[in-house]
Chain A
Amino acid sequence: MTTTSAKRWPFVIPVAVIAALIGAFGKRLLDVNRGDDPHLIPSVLLNTPMPEFDLAPLPGREPGLATRDLKGSVSLVNVWGSWCVACLAEHPTLMALQRENAIPIQGIAWRDSPSASLAWLAQRGDPYARIGQDPKSVAAISLGVTGAPETFVVDATGVIRYKHIGPITPEVWQTTLAPLIAQLKK
């Protein structure tokens, strides 16, 4: 009997491998189900200085936005567009943050016509300190942006500390951004 069981041991290997694969894939599926979106690509720019850009203002709505403007205080850099539905969902939260003077919000008007951006702001309110136009994704690509809205938390030395993909909701602000910003301001 001992000989037969000794001969069967290699069959344990495929079974174990398949069990391990089922476990690994199953865990991933559960994570995705729980909200770990595979479309969210972790930023490689965390804890690196903001890439260099110098974006023109929207006509009649000065000032524009350049990398050097991000030094001196903790700020949010929000990539948005009037074509972006999720930005519309985020907009009331940004307006509330501006009213409360919570943090300077800098805007990058991404792939948008200046007139459409200006009309959007005129109609719904303008939460931004500065806005730079990025019609050809120059700044967006250098920031590794994959969609709008995306928001970067930049510290007072101009280093990227966090990237939030998707709209900032009051919940995201309270649980994630506000504590991080409070820590960065110390």
Chain B
Amino acid sequence: MNRLIIATAAILLSTAALAVLPGERLTDPTMEARAREVSQALRCVVCQNETIDDSDAELAKDMRVLVRERISAGDSNEQVVSYMVQRYGDFVLLKPRMTANTMALWFGPFALLIVGAFVVARRLRRPATQVAEAVTLSDAEAREVQAMKDRAS
């Protein structure tokens, strides 16, 4: 039982496969936390679908070190991020900024949801209207139907 608890705790508490090497970390825990936060928003430009915080690429390591240097030098998180954006473009951001270019990205899904809801609402209402239309025949139509029935019999 004890072993099970230890094993579970080891799994739950481990920060397994952390790319950040001990030597890279800042001694000040608040600054280190900010560095982690910034690193998790920046894309590794070598591997592209990883954050620099997760990546083992050498360039990602150098970028992490640079993030920490700039934070230690007194930059705000935003300043560090825009330093990278100035050099690598918006591409380096894993969470795209809201600009004219990315409006479709940000609002497209919601627009599609609204369109979809509209279409579904229309579809759900339709059978009822169809029945109503079928029931109310004009006088002329009623006479025509009657005439057809007479002919058939």
| A→B interface (CB under 8 Å) | 7, 10, 13, 39, 41-45, 51, 111, 136-138, 140-147
Contacts and interface: CB of A to CB of B under 8 A. Distances in A.
Interface string B11-55: 000000000000000000000000000000000011010000000
Looking at chain A's contact residues, the main secondary structure is loop
Nearest to B122: A10
Looking at chain B's contact residues, the main secondary structure is helix
A132 B130 CA distance: 79
B51 to A, nearest CB: 15
B58 interface: yes
Interface residues of B, number: 20
B91 A41 contact: yes
A36 to B, nearest CB: 15
Contact of B89 (A7, A44, A111, A142): A44
A147 B46 CA distance: 7
Contact of B62 (A13, A43, A44, A141): A141
B88 A140 contact: no
Interface string B60-75: 0011011000000000
Contact of A137 (B63, B115, B122): B63
Nearest to A39: B48
